[in-house]
Chain A
Amino acid sequence: MTKTTTSLTTCPYCGVGCGVQATREEDGTISIKGDKSHPANFGRLCSKGSALADTIGLENRLLHPQVNGKQTSWDTALDAVSDGLKQVIEKHGPDAVAFYVSGQLLTEDYYVANKLMKGFIGSANIDTNSRLCMSSAVAGYKRAFGSDSVPCNYEDLEQADLIVIVGSNAAWCHPIVYQKIVKAKQQRPTLKVVVIDPRKTATCDIADLHLPLKPGTDATLFNGLLHYIKQQNTMDWEFVNQHTEGFAKALISAEKSATDITQVAQICELSDQDVSNFFQLFANIEKVVTLYSQGVNQSSSGTDKSNSIINCHLASGRIGKPGMGPFSITGQPNAMGGREVGALSNQLAAHMELDNPLHHNLVSRFWQTDNLASTAGAQAVDMFEDIANGKIKAIWVIATNPVVTLPNADKVRRAIETCDLVIVSECELNTGTVARADILLPALAWGEKCGTVTNSERRISHQRNFLPHPGEAEEDWWILSQVANRMGYGHAFSYQSSAEIFREHANLSGFENNGKRDFDISQLANISDKQYDELIPIQWPVTAGRPKGTERLFEDKHFFTSTGKAQFIAITPRPPVNATSAEYPLILNTGRVRDQWHTMTRTARSSRLNAHISEPIVQIHPIDADNCQLTNGGLARLDSQRGNMLARIVITEEQRIGSVFVPMHWNDFLASKGRVNALVNPVVDPISGQPESKHTPIKVKPYQPVWYGFMFSRTPLIPTDSEYWVKIKGNQFWRYELAGEALIDDPSRWAKNQLGEEGEWLEFSDQGAQRYRAGKIVDNKLNCIVFIASEHDLPARSWLSQLFSEQTLSDEMRMSLLAGKPGAGLPDIGPMVCACFGIGENTIKDAVECGSAKTVEEIGVLLKAGTNCGSCIPELKNLISSKSG
């Protein structure tokens, strides 16, 4: 590429699926803008999306195949993979191998992975990290609608009169969707927003009502609502009678578990007033969208929770109409695509079911295989359990980082270490999983690969490449197909392009469908490569009948259950599996922060994204902090039965008493002990298999190192002697937050060992106060800094950070450097004239200029200058004469 080129693609982060316009300048620099034409965002981007250009560098990229730590050719690596898999399969059967894939994959990659494992290896041991984020929502939809169908779209949010946001900090995790709501509320102040979340998150900024309910009691609240709707008789009886089943049962268990508002309020630990306000709003406003996410899904009763929500929409008939519906918003850019190709171990393909003989037969014929898996495979958490207990002997991890993201992550890490064959397809070098792989396969990253993704509103978009292929990296579908060929399935995997795969996928979706299955994009089955390249964002189903796609599902009130009717599900609320105890009195809630994504392998490359929250933190209520003797800004050690971590303490009233929040992002390359999933209990929802990542009993105590400190360096380095360290990329520097358990006896030496001797050193030491600070200047530029103290309250990092952008360090900056803050701009007194009283030339000049001192004596009276040793009287005389003269 020589001249400026612009391509439309999509953002690789959350499930909103924003359109992105990437411009490649002649010099190769990339600039990123929102795609004004994309219906998901109409040109808007959040902080993460806007910073995408910062994240596409090639440092720490995996660019060449490796076998047992040695770089090798693709042929050797691919042979090693297929031989390895074949051996295991011959010896232990197909269920001894597994794929663990990712919502980061493109639909085409997903499709090929699923086809290979289920269709030809003959096991359903393929699961995806989407299991961790929306499998409960999937299960909920399937129970209610007979299919994994998200009925709503983003427009419904703009048309609704009440938006109930449940277990979602959309303001941070789905910013563009949240901004749509903010805008809608500005235009129509009548739009009411209710936020249901134990935490008072940023999302509450626009809430008319916030219900900080007890963690895990959502089902009781919505059972109570269902009961209330019935009592207030705001039911849509016509819809319930004609198009649903199971209302009576559902109502009975609702009444049982939530007899009245008072009981609901008690169980959810809310005020009666708040609960009834919410119920009234929901009952009396017609256009309601309930937007829900991880707070509902990541629970041992996540499926029930989502059905308790859906029940309320069915009872009031608020589904399949503009501005209404139960709207699960997904976490990942292509979680939906994964669902569509069936890359979950309990699905088959194209929204067909493993245990459905018709589906089994249909897919077998379509794929022309006699080896199609017929029983569900291991779900994410069990999969690594099976690795640990030896059932699974070979694992292929694709585009995900389970040693950081799975619950009980330390055990997962050990499991991978013990696994006979670990294959990892990745674009990043620094992931904990890559570090434990036998075979490494370099995959293309965002901007290099190209294919389709589906966002939370069923909108299929083309994610296009605008960067050259670096090193030997390849598309994931190519890698998978190559292995399939080597394993002897060449006939079914002779793909030449992602377009070809997409067509097959579209064909399958329509294969003998005839409206029986919700997922049908058969209208796209025969598009040309050109049409595929130019595919504009479109919402499935896309059929002959609906060639322009489908905005909203169930407008026809037909559902995909055997009876064609939607199902009420009787819900008996269940508390989280592990309750708090005397030993583990606090509830650990995990989630995302605004400016980081997953395990930070990408976002941590952007200095602006690291500025918001730059360390693993634990947010805790003042009362709990008091009980645990924690101080704001200090460090805490968090322990569960399974693992521990260290985190910076943030004391905030926004946190619910009894529960703490910790971000899920930090990996071993960015923090010495920041992996929160090491603590999380591997408890899963019995139906969806989704982990209860938002409810682990833990204890928190102060972590008290002997010293605290931080370092800045223009080049990355490896800090030593620090039990606690966090690595933060800044603008032209790396920053390290440090703490150590052993006293540093010679800080000056230590600093030079860490940062290198050569250069101009400034040093400040106060041993009595255990304080040491140093800075190094090279060619008048700040090169590095180190601050060490016995307490955690070190100077703010902001001003020091700015100094690294200075071309040359001014004298003022240099003299203030080790203070960590600029001095209160002393007037420049000029060259010293009267040494005795420290009076400078400028001070004297001023006195002379303004005429307040005309003689040496007058200067003496005014400024004392010259009244002691008198040595400066000649200078004083000169200054006077130079004025008069």
Chain B
Amino acid sequence: MKEKLVLIGNGMAGMRTVDELLKLSPDKFAITVFGAEPHGNYNRIMLSPVLAGDKQLSEIIINDLQWYKDNKITLYTGKTIIQIDRINRQVIADDNSITNYDRLIIATGSVPVMLDIPGKNLEGVISFRDINDVNIMIETAKTHKNAIVIGGGLLGLEAANGLMIQGMNVSVVHRNNTLMSQQLDQESADLMRSELEEKGMHFLMEHQTEALLGDKRVEKVRFKDGSEVEADLVVMAIGVRPNIKLAQASGIQCDRGILVDDTLQTFTPTIYAVGECVQHRKKTFGLVAPLFEQAKVCANHLVDMGIASYVSSATSTKLKVTGIDLFSAGDFIGDNTTENIIFKDATRHIYKKLVIQNNKIMGIVLYGETTDGLWYFSLLTEGKDISEIRENIIFGQHHIEENHE
């Protein structure tokens, strides 16, 4: 009789854990998966290309329903688990169905942060999180004109870009003056902005949204300075927070996220958690790379190997945002103890910056030309002294003589 494994959350982190499990020991568990969304699991990162019309939904499906059958995995889509009974090792779904487990993985991911302002529930006010949001955007674009995206972060700009391609007149509202401040410094952010403006995107920098106006459907956005803009669609992309509602309700130790140890185990030994819903050593996660690392470790322990342990390491972001190559890592802002090595080719929209301290790379921002990103990143993680190659480092690895590599 196989052990019963239940996975809550049919997303990337959870399913990657199942993949790893199947690799390690295909027959150890009878696996049941609950997904709130009515699909097989898909690559959430690829929602932007879908919105931009570069990809079809079918192309971003990682595992279709057939795959679950072939791997003898029971998949419940559109079913939401509303409670975990830790004593009886059961999960209860919104249709009151009960499923027993020996081991449970919580992979409920994250939920978008929505501004708590008047009008937030008006029709046409959405986030950018799943296929449903994407479908709404595509449909709205067919019938409406003006879109406002609140939040000039990575997700916001992707949404704005997609909506623009879908034919809408898009304005991005941003709190401060630096777009994508998680990835970019002022200089590169300005470069990004001007490049997007050339494409026709509008920006309302240093604007704070006060209210969304309209009877049934949103019609206007009002800002703290009193100004207003037309809006048929408002996409809130001001960030995400771990989705811990279920875990908390079920008495699992949470802080900002579900607390896990280096084996991704929660405070309840039979229950594991992976992905954007967890908090590991005070850190929560938004990028894909660490999630996959977590999946490996988690699976390793579920099959009782118990040799792997999860260490969250410095991560670099290499992205294609609205068709622009970006790379950033480490402390790319720096302070009065650091020095900057900068290369700029404004007309070509290229900007490279290395933040240096005692001849070691502390931070990296590459905009428009990211070929050497991973090389710089390896120098950063290895803490290599670059004094020997400092003169040419900004021009890339192929400008460094062999003996310096």
Contact = CB atoms under 8 A, between A and B. Distances in A.
Interface stretch (B125-133, B168-176, B177-185, B318-326): B318-326
B395 A815 contact: yes
A838 B345 contact: no
Contacts of A836: 289, 318
B124 to A, nearest CB: 29
Contacts of A835: 318-320, 325, 370
A837 B292 CA distance: 15
Lowest 5 CB-CB distances: which A-B pairs, in order?
A: A768-B339, A823-B398, A819-B395, A760-B347, A826-B398
Contact of B43 (A768, A826, A870): A870
Contact of A816 (B45, B62, B346, B399): B399
Interface in A750-804: 760-769, 771, 777
B344 A763 contact: yes
Interface stretch (B219-227, B261-269, B271-279, B386-394): B386-394
* Residue in A761, A815, A824 with the greatest tally of chain B CB atoms within 10 Å: A815
A836 B289 CA distance: 9
A545 interface: no
Contact of B343 (A763, A767, A832): A763
Interface of A: 760-769, 771, 777, 814-816, 818-819, 821, 823-826, 829, 832, 835-838, 868-871, 874
Given A832-B325, A868-B292, A765 B342 contact: yes
A819 B325 contact: no
Contact of A819 (B292, B340, B370, B392): B392
A769 B391 contact: yes
B341 interface: yes
B339 A767 contact: yes
Interface of B: 43, 45-46, 49, 55, 59-60, 62, 288-289, 292, 318-320, 325, 339-348, 356, 369-371, 373-374, 390-392, 394-399
B357 to A, nearest CB: 10
Contact of A760 (B43, B320, B339, B346): B346
A762 B345 contact: yes
A818 B43 contact: no
B324 to A, nearest CB: 11
* Residue in B49, B318, B370, B373 with the greatest tally of chain A CB atoms within 10 Å: B318
Contacts of B345: 760, 762, 814-815
A793 to B, nearest CB: 10
Contact of A818 (B49, B325, B395, B398): B395
Nearest to B342: A765
A763 B374 CA distance: 23
A593 to B, nearest CB: 31
Contacts of B398: 823-826
Contact of B371 (A764, A767, A824, A838): A838
29 contacts: A760-B345, A761-B346, A762-B344, A763-B343, A764-B341, A765-B340, A765-B341, A766-B341, A767-B339, A768-B339, A769-B341, A769-B391, A777-B347, A815-B369, A818-B395, A819-B399, A821-B399, A823-B398, A824-B398, A832-B320, A832-B370, A835-B318, A836-B318, A838-B370, A838-B374, A868-B289, A869-B45, A871-B43, A874-B60
B288 A814 contact: no
Given A760-B347, A762-B345, A815-B395, A767 B318 contact: no
Given A823-B395, A823-B396, A838-B318, A869 B342 contact: no
B344 A869 contact: no
Nearest to B359: A768
Contacts of B339: 766-769
A869 B320 CA distance: 13
B343 to A, nearest CB: 5
A271 B184 CA distance: 72
Given A769-B390, A835-B320, A870 B62 contact: yes
A871 B292 CA distance: 14
Contacts of B371: 826, 829, 838
Contacts of A763: 342-344
B130 to A, nearest CB: 17
Contacts of B373: 838
